[in-house]
Amino acid sequence: MQNDANHNARALTLLIVLALIWGTSFILMKRGLVVFSAGELGSIRVAAASLFLVPVALVKLKDLRTRHYLKLFFSGMMGIFFPAFLFGLAQTRLESSVTGIMNSLTPICTLLIGVWVFSQPFRRQSIAGIILGLAGTVILILANTGGNFGGVNLFALLVILACVFYATNVNYIKYKIADLNALTITSISLLLIGPLAVIYLFGFTEFTAKMETRPGAWTALGFIVLLGFMSTSLATLLFNKLVKMTSPVYTSSVTYLIPIVAVLWGLVDGERLFPGHFVGMAAIIGGVYLANRKS
């Protein structure tokens, strides 16, 4: 009983720390986008995260078998690379707080992909939660910056796609890479995808020119490097550890708390939320609760 209590306490602590880190990531992206494009932000974020964990990855290479490399590359692309670019692009047109709210769709996506792709059991009462969560998403997509519902913001669809990638990776780690620990998965995945980010950054963007000519470039770079360290390398490590300790749905429920942190940072930064945003947020979080609650 004591062991169970300690295990649950550790899992809850990791969940809260993850929420604080990831809830802060949206305001860091906003600061980075002041100077850099979405592509530059995504590639800097991935490259920085990869660089931080290179020493660990080199040590962990000895734990791998040939069959692991493709799996870890897939995990890195699904859980880190594609979402980094998608969230950056989405936030060029969405408030950071709204992006954080929409990230709450991850548990619902995790549930659906677990059922459809990984043949996990499905509870009928989850249907109501899924419908409610999707309704909240539609409300947020339709709500424009004035709080009305006439302007469809297609950039919100990029956040949904990122949530699908996250959800795919969560299930994949739990059911396909069960023989590796969280530190190995995180460090090697970043080691494998890091070169792609570096090639894109220096070969296909204006990063070097901006660093030489744009005022505030170093400050913006600092925010993105911090984003890469905290929200990508450290948070992914903690997230993968939590997946190993619990279930994919429990782990993805960190998104219950992320919107709270993201909205608070947004309000501190002068962002405005309108009634439509609050209705959508309440519907999504309510949907996530209904979809994942036990009988």
Question: Is pLDDT above 50 for 200?
Answer: yes
Q: For residue range 210-242, what is the model confidence (pLDDT) as tens digits?
A: 999 999 999 999 999 999 999 888 888 888 888
Residues 143, 272 contacting (CB under 8 angstroms): no
CA dihedral sign of residues 77, 81, 83, 89: negative
CB distance 169 to 83 below 8 Å: no
The rounded distance, in Å, linking the Cα atoms of 218 and 147 is: 35
Give the distance from CA 124 to its chain's centroid: 27
Q: Which tokens belong to 152?
A: 């469809």
pLDDT, average across residues 279-294: 76
pLDDT at 147 over 50: no
Whole-angstrom distance, CA of residue 152 vs CA of residue 142: 5
Whole-prediction pTM: 0.84
Q: How many Å is the Cα radius of gyration of the chain? A: 19
Q: Where residue 286 falls among pLDDT bands split at 50, 70, 90?
A: confident
What pLDDT, in 10s, does the model give residues 81-118? 999 999 999 999 888 888 888 887 887 888 889 888 88
pLDDT for res 152: 47
pLDDT of 136: 80
**What pLDDT shows up at residue 120?**
77
First-to-last C-alpha distance (Å) of the chain: 22
Q: What is the Cα–Cα distance from 189 to 53, expressed in whole angstroms?
A: 10
d(CA 78, CA 52): 20
Contact (CB, 8 A) for 53 and 186: yes
